[in-house]
Amino acid sequence: MYREIERVMPAQNNRFIAHATLDNSLNILSFSPDLQRWAALKSGNLVETNLFDLFPYLRLRQHAVFDRLQNENLFTYSHARFAQNPRLDQTFNLQIEPVPGVPNRLLLTVIPVSVQNLAANENKDVVTLTRHNRELLLLNRASQVLTATLDIDDVLEHLLQVSVQIIGATGSSVWLWEDENRDRLICQAAYHPGKEEVLLGLTVHSGYGVVGWVAQANKGAIVSNPALDGRFYAKIDTSSGFTTQSILAVPIHLRNRVLGVLEVVNKRDGRFQSQDLTYAQMLAASAAIAIDNAQLVQTLRTKMEDLKAQNAELEAFDHTVAHDLQNPLALVVGFADLLRTSSDKISAEERERALDLLGQNAHRMSNIIQEMLVLSSVRKRDVETHPLEMDQIVLAALDRLRFTMQEHNARLILPDSWPVASGYAPWIEEVWENYIGNALKYGGKPPRIELGNTVLPDGRIKFWVQDNGQGIDPEKRHLLFTPFTQLGQVRVTGHGLGLSIVRRIMEKLGGEVDVESELGQGSTFSFILPAYQIPKE
């Protein structure tokens, strides 16, 4: 074990240093020969000896030892004396820290003070050198861990913890761009004991606050007195209840593209130094590669999930369309054969009835094909919304249903006026056509259909179609707006395909769909759209 430590913790002059490995209770597990000689123990073996037995005065600081190791991963002590060493003039400086990469193991470094003073030119500050070596090792290990994972949450968590550990701060946070516009940063991850949940999700605009300035300028910053710095954004402290005493922030950038900002706050001992800034920049460089890789993988996963969902949707839709086309197509073929082969054997009244049924079923097939075209449009396109002339859109939908309305001798009630909503007219026409068509099909005998609108308290507009039919069984009501992927398993006769398209249209436009119904009391189908807002000049 000791030979491994020598390779891990090199020093410029090993004859002035002794090492030992300890467990978490500070019992010695292995040691270098010099340590045994300096301790002057009669037994000659230090294994399983507790550190407090070697240095009795250190026992008075027992609580401080474990507290520093837990919170700072480092404990130092000057001018310690071995219990059995008779030379009162010989004292030693001690340093205890975790062994990098080895869990539950601590490294003890012992340096004779007198020898250290004699060798000042050669070893000016071995403790500082050892600490620097430890920090470099941690940086190297952190870089390896960061670039080895493709999970962005794991990347950010490790980045925060190691930055606090190496730089010696009380907290850290990572701010990434909220969206592709890159005009606001959002706190994506935070390590502030007791304050993480408050900080997460906070946003700052580019150029505002220290993190906003760092992101915009693409260079690091040390702020020793935030209250006196014009870049400090005090609202974050107000929102989180955290008190910021000092700040170090560096950009997380890759190929001159800023991905976000790493911020470290409140140095535990003294002020942030240029070396701390260098360490943070090294961590940010490794994190940038890891974050970029993780974001690319996440994007790929999302696209794969979307593709998988689209394939499942297409398969279900194909099955549904084939099922819905089968009946009207069979009737068209049947009546066409009847007229072709037996037209002289049937009466004029029967011939007229067959022609009517041919037309109706051809119209049904045309509607299904129209729905397929609308679905293709909804799936592939992202449209711009505009103010809707709802009276014209409703008239266009009614024109498509004129034959069905004549057949059912329907009574239609329209409002005197329509509020102006925001949407895409061809798609909203399809929604009205589906809602009114279902009201005609499932309304009373004859159907009484009322169209209307309601302005909601939040300013959105609810449009609705009310019929006088028998209503819908409560157990089947939740199946009406079935996703396409479930249409094969859930056959809500006559409703499934059209209402599934309505649902998809509303999802694309940021709207909502709903149905209210009671058996024997009819049904009211509705959709909600945002009200049109006149652009500000």
Instruction: To the nearest 10°, report the CA torsion of 422, 423, 428, 431.
Output: -90
- Cβ neighbour number for residue 393 with a 10 Å cutoff: 21
Domains of the chain: 2-124 (3.30.450.20), 141-299 (3.30.450.40), 382-537 (3.30.565.10)
Please enumerate, as own/partner, the contacts of 155-158 that have beta carbons within 8 Å and a separation of 24 or more: 155/287, 155/290, 155/291, 155/294, 156/188, 156/189, 156/287, 156/291, 157/189, 157/191
CA torsion through residues 17, 20, 21, 25, sign: negative
Type of residue at 348: A
Using one digit for the tens of pLDDT, what is the confidence trace for 149-175?
667 777 777 777 777 877 888 888 888
Task: Decide which of 445 and 375 is more confident.
Answer: 445
Quick check: 344 pLDDT over 80? no
Segment 73-79 shows an average pLDDT of: 85
Quick check: 464 pLDDT over 60? yes
In the structure encoding, which two tokens stand for residue 393, read together?
């859109």
Using one digit for the tens of pLDDT, what is the confidence trace for 19-70?
888 999 999 988 888 888 888 776 667 888 899 988 888 888 888 899 888 8
Task: Decide which of 495 and 429 is more confident.
Answer: 429
Cα 197-199-200 angle, rounded to 5 deg: 65
Quick check: 298 pLDDT over 60? yes
Type of residue at 109: T
What does the alpha-carbon distance between residue 260 and residue 175 come to, in Å, rounded to a whole number?
A: 5
Is the separation of the CB atoms in 155 and 290 below 8 Å?
yes
Task: Decide which of 201 and 371 is more confident.
Answer: 201
Is the separation of the CB atoms in 266 and 244 below 8 Å?
yes
What does the alpha-carbon distance between residue 415 and residue 407 come to, in Å, rounded to a whole number?
A: 23
Q: Note if the pTM is more than 0.85.
A: no
The mean predicted confidence, pLDDT, of the chain is 78
Residues in the chain: 537
Classify residue 14 by its DSSP letter.
G
Quick check: 423 pLDDT over 50? yes
Is the separation of the CB atoms in 476 and 492 below 8 Å?
yes
**How many CA atoms does the CB half-sphere of 288 hold within 13 Å?**
19
- pLDDT of 37 reads 82
Q: Whose CA is closest to 402, among 412, 392, 388?
A: 412
Using one digit for the tens of pLDDT, what is the confidence trace for 309-335?
767 666 666 665 666 677 677 777 877
- pLDDT of 467 reads 93
Using one digit for the tens of pLDDT, what is the confidence trace for 525-536?
999 999 998 776
Type of residue at 497: L
Task: Decide which of 85 and 469 is more confident.
Answer: 469
- pLDDT of 296 reads 79
Distances from the Cα of 372 to the Cα of 9, 168, 483, 511, angstroms? 70, 62, 15, 21
Segment 452-475 shows an average pLDDT of: 91
- pLDDT of 245 reads 86
DSSP track, 422-471: EE-HHHHHHHHHHHHHHHHHHS-SS-EEEEEEEE-TTS-EEEEEE--S--
3-state secondary structure of 68: helix
**Residues 105-135, buried b or exposed e (16+ Cβ, 10 A)?**
bbbbbbbbeeebeebeeebeebbebbbeebb
What does the alpha-carbon distance between residue 528 and residue 413 come to, in Å, rounded to a whole number?
A: 20
Type of residue at 119: A
Segment 375-402 shows an average pLDDT of: 83
Quick check: 491 pLDDT over 50? no
DSSP track, 207-276: TSHHHHHHHHHTS-EEES-GGG-TT--HHHHHHH------EEEEEEEETTEEEEEEEEEEESSS---HHH
